[in-house]
Amino acid sequence: SLLRESLKNNDKEFIPLNTELKTMETYIRLEQLRFHFNYSIQLDPGINSNAVEVPVLLIQPLIENAIKHGVSALDRNGCININLQQENKNLLIEISDNGKGFDTSVITKGYGLKLTNERIQLLNQTYKDQPIHLAINSKLLIGTIVHLLFENWL
The answer to whether 57 touches 5, Cβ cutoff 8 Å, is no
Q: What gap in Å lies between CA 141 and CA 36, rounded to an integer?
A: 19
pLDDT, tens digit, 9 for 90 and up, residues 64-118: 999 999 999 998 999 999 999 999 999 999 999 999 998 888 877 778 888 999 9
pLDDT at 57 over 90: no
pLDDT, tens digit, 9 for 90 and up, residues 118-140: 999 999 999 999 999 999 999 98
The answer to whether 124 touches 112, Cβ cutoff 8 Å, is no
pLDDT at 31 over 80: yes
The pTM (predicted TM-score) of the whole model is 0.92
